[in-house]
Amino acid sequence: MIASHNGNICRPRQNFMMKKSQPIVATKNLITLLIILLQAPLLAANDEVSEQYQDISLIRNSVEDFVYRNTSTLPGQVAVNVDKIDKYLTLPRCSELQPSIPPGSRLWGKTSIVVRCNDRDINWAIYVQAEINVMADVLHLARPVSTGHALTYEDITLQNVNLTHMPDGIFTDPSQIVGKIANNNLTVGQPIRQHMLRAPYVIQRGQKVNLVVKGRGFSISSEGNALTDAAENQVVQVRNKSGRIMSGLARTNSIVEIQP
């Protein structure tokens, strides 16, 4: 307290202000409490409503699980990106979600996956868009190759690429192509595809061959001349000594097997 010049006592102004603000604070606290009490029934009602509808995140999870489970045998590393599902979508709650792919579709690249409710009393289905990427090592040419060249390990290299962006007929295992013959000139950096290569010939046109006719309990051999080239197990045409043209299967060691 402070004494004035006329002897009266003056109370500090700060105390007066503090006493004056206390009712205001109390009023604010009361309003906040009323808001909480009023919102509580609404929140409870919202919870009850949300329990009636399907959790969208569970649909998304079911799609991811379905894709990973059905692509586990693919070479390389599989990555799945599921598009966002409308969070305001209101579907009846389902206890058993059943993802599948439409007829003619496959789990590769951009695709659609249908998710159905498998409950007895609930019937709904939605389509979910997803992108499936498969990263794997693919064989490419490490250097130029000329027509007729038999590929070696030095001719090839591995590059990690997205298989879903690659053409059909590519190779991931070097043992699948080493020893195969180039059908035409190939340039460095190309992914190696099936149509670029052929198996080496075991029978060549004009070559003398041994014709072998095998049956139940017998085997007959004669000579002939090959009229076509053929890799092992391919059909080759042969002219025998009497001039008759026959077809058989090319085998190693200049043998053509004729079916009786």
Q: What is the pLDDT of residue 244?
A: 92
Tell me if 84 sits within 8 A of 131, measured CB to CB. no
Pick the closest to residue 163 from 234, 238, 108 (CA basis): 108
Q: What is the pLDDT of residue 87?
A: 85
Strand ranges in the chain using DSSP code E only, listed in sequence order? 2-3, 9-10, 77-82, 97-100, 109-117, 125-141, 156-162, 181-182, 197-198, 201-203, 208-215, 218-226, 230-231, 235-240, 245-251, 255-258
Tell me if 112 sits within 8 A of 129, measured CB to CB. yes
Spell out, as residue ranges, where the chain has pLDDT lower than 70: 1-50
Residue position matching structure tokens 């590393």: 77
pLDDT tens digits, residue range 2-18?
444 444 444 444 444 44
Q: What is the pLDDT of residue 16?
A: 42
Identify the structural domains of the chain with CATH numbers, from first to last.
Answer: 56-134 (no CATH), 135-198 (3.90.1210.10), 201-258 (2.30.30.760)
Q: What is the pLDDT of residue 42?
A: 45
What are phi and psi for residue 123, nearest 5 degrees?
-135, 100
Per-residue tokens: 127: 């389509």
Q: What is the pLDDT of residue 40?
A: 47
Q: What is the pLDDT of residue 145?
A: 97
Is this model's pTM higher than 0.85 or not?
Answer: no
Q: What is the pLDDT of residue 253?
A: 93
Q: What is the pLDDT of residue 67?
A: 96
